[in-house]
Amino acid sequence: MNAFPHLTAPLDLGYIKLPNRAIMGSMHTGFEYLDRHVERTARFYAERARGEAALIVTGGYSPNADGLFGPGGPELSRAEHVPEHRRIISAVHAEGGRIALQILHAGRYAKHKGLVGPSTLASPINPLQPRRMTAEDIERTIEDFAISTALAREAGYDGVEIMASEGYLINEFTAKRTNDRDDDWGGSLENRLRLPVEIMKRVRQRVGDDFLIIYRISSIDLVEGGLTGDEIVAQAKAVEAAGASILNQGIGWHEARIPTIAQKVPRAAWTFAARRLKDAVKIPVVASNRINTPALAEDVLASGTADLVSMARPWLADPHFMRKSRTGKSDEINVCIACNQACLDYIFSSRAASCLVNPVTGRELDFDAFPKPQKKKRVAVVGAGPAGLACATTAAERGHDVTLYEAAPSIGGQLNIARNIPGKEEFDETIRYFGRMIETRGVALKAGKAPEASDLAGQYDEVVVATGVRPRTLDIPGIEDPRCVSYIDILLGAVQAGRRVAIIGAGGIGFDVAEFLSGPSQKEAANVAHFLHEWGVDTGIAVPGALATPAEPEINRQIVMLQRKPGRMGRTLGLSTGWVLRITLAKRKVAQLTGVTYQKIDAEGLHILVGEEARVLPVDTIVVCAGQESERTLADKLVAAGTPPHVIGGADVAAELDAMRAIDQGVRLAYSF
Ligand code: FAD
Ligand code: NAP
Ligand code: SF4
């Protein structure tokens, strides 16, 4: 039986047939930071075509020099650009896939001196000031969109997507926030919509009726001075009339201060805005953002909210998402957990995108280059946290005979602790995936008992120790006081925190504990209505930008976070997500003290120095989140027994360890066997 009848249903537009309803949405990959970037891009997209993406939309290409993201950014504006696109397109077509070029003019988000916009108003996230476009500039830009589309068709693309959301140029023209013009291109709604309508008309006229033109519309702006719902609907109808084939949903400008795709955004939180479009137009509408499983996609489609779904990061996590969905293997999908750690955070730090749960992504050519194993080896992996799981299941996939030892009764390691933080329940998907891979790839799992060194020494061709970490213990006088507890006890519910809490250590775990103790339950946080209310989203989109007054948080605890280092807290938080956590904790009045020296704990509370100033914090609970140390007892015994093991993950290096490094190290080691 087909579990996903709506998701797997084809869509026939006459000139193009999509085999199912799951598009791979546009993503900037940053592959240009790597060698052989055209070959890499071709290999990357071809894998997703093989995995049955209905349509792949490329990262954004500018139609002209003004619209580039930055110097040397992706561009399709001249015939000389066409050959490299052909290499990518033919790789996708060879796998039976379809690919559309996204045309994106960066407007005032561009990071080069020639940036332009409807006005000279600079963006709060870009220090550069745009030049106000003249009427001639606007006419030339419309023509450049048409030229780029014609070149895309000539190169062999199956369509284009005109990028008109996320606060880029077209969006800047539609919104009063950025458009203060009093000529034909500003003022009335009709004038503000003139640019997208003229682009759509010109592009359609240039390539004819039998070519796919998707319009990526900002379905909700989430900024002051953004559009109202009625204005967005008017835009949707206008571009439909001007020749758009499909409307794809964009959400929020990049400068919006409401999270749109982070882990804290509940799944499918923005589909209400897609529904408004669907009810307004006759052409197919695509829903997007935080849709990461086939079951969820099926629900969105079955409810009539949209005709297609666009997923971007889920195709990084699993290139074969739709092939597995279609063939009854959806339980084998490696689900995107919305962490942003190896995709957006990499891009924001000028690195090529990859994926925390699938480090092969974006590095396909490098993994292709590993030689095939010469013989089937007997491999023992000890520790079923992310490092050990990744190593064991990858080694088994490569044909080795693998035994995975785990001291705890079940797999997952620290992910079982992390999963209790609001949003991080997504880690359940990773644990489920690895569990399924253990079954399908025939890994022998021996859980519930730690092996002795003698069980391993001399018994295997390769022994891998992935025993992880243990929390650092502190030697502050009085630390044995029952008010002092580990983050593990708090997060696993073994201890209930009191009303006044001090958190020692403000790394990733300190922040997570502060969030856990200050906020609503995980269930409540995952509720879409709760999230939209908390962040102040007007779901009726009656006001410009859909900004309502954010809910006042309920404050049930006084929490203070402490750190020895001076300066701002949270420097190691994710680039794309740290701001969400900072805003959240500030709203909940979580205090932060840096430059702290811990002196003692006694009946009065926690005694500290802040700089030179002595203070006593009269707290009920002190949660120690002071980092971890490697668990290497077994590794040391194996060395002593003359069987030096491979040591990975936290057992190798505890500092700055995260699941991304653990999984990457596990996979790479398995490829070397
Ligand atoms: P572990 O996960 O520690 O796994 C080690 C395993 O070995 C355990 O299952 C243990 O039982 C087993 N073991 C130990 N000794 C033996 C033995 N002698 N024999 C057999 N088995 C043994 N990382 C991120 O990337 N993103 C996040 O958002 C994130 N959030 C986190 C939030 C919290 C609250 C916590 C606690 C961690 C978070 N992490 C996050 C960190 C991430 O969980 C760790 O970096 C990762 O789990 C380390 O993987 P590992 O396999 O090296 O070790
Ligand atoms: P961490 O990031 O290394 O932070 C440890 C904290 O403890 C620091 O604030 C440190 O600050 C303090 N500390 C260290 N030694 C101390 C000592 N002897 N006495 C008192 N304080 C001490 O470690 P973590 O927070 O335990 O996180 C572990 C790993 O999990 C991290 O590497 C992180 O990447 C990962 N993680 C990631 C996420 C994520 O969302 N990506 C979330 C959670 C965890 P001072 O030394 O200045 O006091
Ligand atoms: Fe998804 Fe995280 Fe992978 Fe990005 S790094 S694709 S958010 S799982």
The per-residue pLDDT for 382 is 98
Q: Is 27 in the pocket of ligand 2 (CB under 6 A)?
A: no
Q: Is 168 a catalytic residue?
A: yes
Asked if residue 569 has pLDDT above 90, the reply is: yes
Separation of alpha carbons 273 and 254, rounded Å? 17
Using the mean position of ligand 1's atoms as its centre, give its distance from the Cα of residue 385 in Å: 5
pLDDT in tens, 140-156: 999 999 999 999 999 99
Separation of alpha carbons 672 and 458, rounded Å? 20
The per-residue pLDDT for 670 is 98
Asked if residue 33 has pLDDT above 90, the reply is: no
pLDDT in tens, 371-396: 999 999 999 999 999 999 999 999 99
* Secondary structure in 3-state letters for 517-548: HHCCCHHHHCCHHHHHHHHCECCCCCCHHHEC
What is the identity of the amino acid at 216?
R
pLDDT, average across residues 538-560:
96
- Going by C-alpha positions, the residue among 53, 666, 587 that lies closest to residue 308 is 53
Asked if residue 32 has pLDDT above 90, the reply is: no
Asked if residue 57 has pLDDT above 90, the reply is: yes
Q: Is 311 exposed, middle or buried (0-12, 13-18, 19+ CB in 10 A)?
A: buried
In the set 168, 460, 487, 598, the catalytic residue is 168
pLDDT in tens, 409-455: 999 999 999 999 999 999 999 999 999 999 999 999 999 999 999 99
- Going by C-alpha positions, the residue among 15, 16, 24 that lies closest to residue 52 is 24
All residues at 6 or more sequence positions from 603 whose CB lies less than 8 Å from its CB, including other chains: none
Mutate to test the pocket of ligand 2, among 339, 509, 628 (most ligand atoms within 8 A of CB): 509
Cα–Cα separations (whole angstroms), residue 363 to 2, 302, 341, 356, 425: 33, 36, 16, 12, 27
pLDDT, average across residues 127-136:
97
pLDDT in tens, 63-108: 999 999 999 889 999 999 999 999 999 999 999 999 999 999 999 9
The per-residue pLDDT for 72 is 87
Asked if residue 196 has pLDDT above 90, the reply is: yes
Strand pairing category for 11-12 and 558-562: unpaired
Separation of alpha carbons 184 and 339, rounded Å? 43
Q: Identify any residues that bridge with 116 across adjacent strands, giving them in sequence order.
A: 131
List of domains in the chain:
11-367 (3.20.20.70), 373-471+629-672 (3.40.50.720), 484-519+554-626 (3.50.50.60)
- Residue of the nearest CA to atom 8 in ligand 3? 336
Separation of alpha carbons 612 and 38, rounded Å? 57
How many CB atoms sit inside 10 A of residue 35's CB? 9
All residues at 6 or more sequence positions from 165 whose CB lies less than 8 Å from its CB, including other chains: 171, 216, 217, 218, 219, 249, 250, 251
Using the mean position of ligand 2's atoms as its centre, give its distance from the Cα of residue 504 in Å: 10
**Ligand nearest to the backbone CA of 572:** 2
**Ligand nearest to the backbone CA of 354:** 3
- Going by C-alpha positions, the residue among 233, 320, 325 that lies closest to residue 285 is 233
What average pLDDT does the chain have?
97
Asked if residue 1 has pLDDT above 90, the reply is: no
Q: Are 447 and 409 in contact (CB under 8 A)?
A: yes
Q: Is 25 in the pocket of ligand 1 (CB under 6 A)?
A: no
